[in-house]
């Protein structure tokens, strides 16, 4: 039997993650589980779908090592339901091919689009939803980019939820679950950083 090539396990793991997340519904399921452990029935309430439509997607997330069953909850009539939570696993190496990356990003954008559309529809129906969408471009030096990233990290740390989330399907105390999406992408190649004389290449 031939020994696996170096990095093969990492590529397989990254491919599995991309394949599992190449569906916007699975991304949303994972995000709901980040808020709190939930059963398929509770996830179905979040998604507005029948629970039996979610089992296939949950299995895909399990196979990719992204979620796991953390317990069972007894239901009326003696039946039990599985409770899912995000798996505590190291992310695979970032060596996905362009097709996998494109599928992953497409699913991320689709999931974001679903959230924004749902919020706008609820707002038009008279419910209170706050929606802010901004798209712009800035000319940033390496120093300015590092400063902007630092500000983003500070904001994330400031508003991040505590380790223990609220009860499933309930908003955090004094707040509402709000989707925040930030993307920093250069639109052209950056100039190479100057290398001081005598520094190793």
First to last CA, the chain: 41
User: Is residue 149 scored above 90 in pLDDT?
Assistant: yes
pLDDT value for 11: 43
pLDDT on residue 9 = 40
Domains and CATH numbers, the chain: 8-104 (1.10.10.10)
89 confidence band (pLDDT: 50, 70, 90): low
Q: Which helix (H) or strand (E) holds 17?
A: helix 8-21
Give the 3-state secondary structure of residue 5: coil
Both tokens of 45, joined, read 């309430």
Structure tokens at 115: 């959230």
Model confidence at 100, pLDDT cuts 50, 70, 90, reads confident
pLDDT at 4 over 50: no
Which residues is 76 bridged to in the sheet?
Answer: none
**% residues pLDDT > 70 (the chain):** 77
Q: What would the mean pLDDT of 128-138 be, rounded to a whole number?
A: 92
131, 116 contact by CB (below 8 A): yes
Is the pLDDT at 159 greater than 90, yes or no? no
Yes or no: say if 10 and 39 are a contact pair by the CB < 8 Å rule. no
Q: How far apart are CA 193 and CA 32, in angstroms?
A: 41
Which tokens in the block code for residue 140? 């940033």
Sheet harboring 38-39: ordered strands across? 38-39, 80-86, 67-74
For the chain, the average pLDDT equals 81
């Amino acid at each position: 039997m031939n020994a696996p090539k170096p990095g093969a396990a990492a590529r397989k793991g990254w491919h599995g993650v991309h394949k599992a997340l190449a569906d916007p519904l699975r991304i949303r399921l994972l995000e709901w589980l980040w808020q709190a452990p939930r059963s398929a029935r509770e996830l179905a309430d979040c998604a507005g779908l029948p629970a039996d439509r979610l089992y296939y997607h949950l299995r895909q997330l399990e196979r990719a090592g992204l979620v796991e069953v953390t317990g069972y909850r007894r239901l009326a009539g003696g039946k039990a339901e599985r409770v899912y939570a995000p798996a505590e696993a190291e992310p695979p190496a970032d060596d996905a091919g362009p097709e996998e990356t494109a599928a992953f990003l497409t699913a991320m954008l689709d999931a974001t689009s679903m959230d924004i559309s749902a919020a706008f529809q609820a707002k038009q129906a008279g419910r209170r939803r706050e929606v802010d969408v901004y798209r712009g471009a800035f000319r940033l030096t390496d120093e300015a980019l590092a400063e902007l990233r630092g500000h983003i990290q500070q904001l994330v740390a400031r508003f991040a939820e505590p380790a223990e989330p609220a009860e499933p399907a309930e908003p955090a105390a004094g707040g509402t679950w709000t989707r925040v999406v930030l993307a920093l992408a250069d639109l052209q190649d950056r100039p190479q950083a100057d290398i001081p004389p005598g520094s190793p290449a």
